[in-house]
Amino acid sequence: MGAAMRNQDQQADRRLIKTVLLFVAGFLIVFAPGSAQAGPEKRGIDFSDYDVPLAQQVTNRIKAKILARLGEGKNTQDRYFIIPFAYENKGNDPEFSHSFISVIRVLADSKQPRLTSGLKVRREADRNFEAYTISWLPEDFLENPNLHVFEGFGARLFPNCNKCPMLPGKSFNLADTLKMAVGAKVAVGMWGPYEINKQGFDLGVRRLQLLEKKTIKY
């Protein structure tokens, strides 16, 4: 009986020592000097498109990425993609920060599609597609880009103290949104395209239609 208990204790001790050693080894790998240098080499900045307008650079990248995902074969079903964007200035000031998305539906080949109301069909590289952008800002933002949503003492804490008028909102298209970003000299980030399902595409369409009614104030 006693020998069996001692054997169990020794096995437990070995497991504990093994666990501690694995933890220490992991700690050294993660936090050892120079560990941050692991991974692929940093690539230099590509200035080959330096003189190409930003909107054209963005659309070229979207086209290339989506066409690569579709491949060379026949597209037998509708495919849906989302591209998130964000921009901000060097100080990360809220009035110079904005996030927006573009959503694309690539129509299946050789099928009579049920088109989305309010969207027009476009064509690129023998592919028909629909697209829209949700970029919600004050309606007059192109002419008056000095955005602020709080004004007056205590406005950030108490809604009744906010003297900033509510304005009709508008969902701008991708070209106009990028034009604002260039005018403000902010950094623009783009992710994706990421493939989504039809439900995600339809949800975005409903949100766009709601914003276009201008019943929601900014």
SS (HEC) of 38-68: CCCCCCCCCCCCCCCCHHHHHHHHHHHHHHH
Residue 11: predicted pLDDT:
56
The answer to pTM > 0.85 is no
- Residue 7: pLDDT band by 50, 70, 90 thresholds? low
Closest-CA residue to 106 (of 134, 65, 61): 65
DSSP 160-186: GG--SPP-BEEE--HHHHHHHHHHHT-
- Report whether 83 contacts 102 (CB < 8 A): yes
Residues in the chain: 218
Phi first, then psi, for residue 115 (nearest 5°) are -75, 160
Residue 40: predicted pLDDT:
53
pLDDT (mean) for 58-81: 92
User: For residues 214 and 218, what is the distance between their CA atoms, to the nearest angstrom?
Assistant: 9
Q: Which residues, 6 or more positions from 18, have their beta carbon under 8 angstroms from its beta carbon?
A: none
Q: What is the pLDDT of residues 108-132, one digit of tens each?
A: 987 778 899 999 999 988 899 999 9
pLDDT at 147 over 80: no
- Residue 174: pLDDT band by 50, 70, 90 thresholds? very high
Least confident of 80-89, 97-106, 107-116: 107-116
Read off the tokens for 117: 């109301």
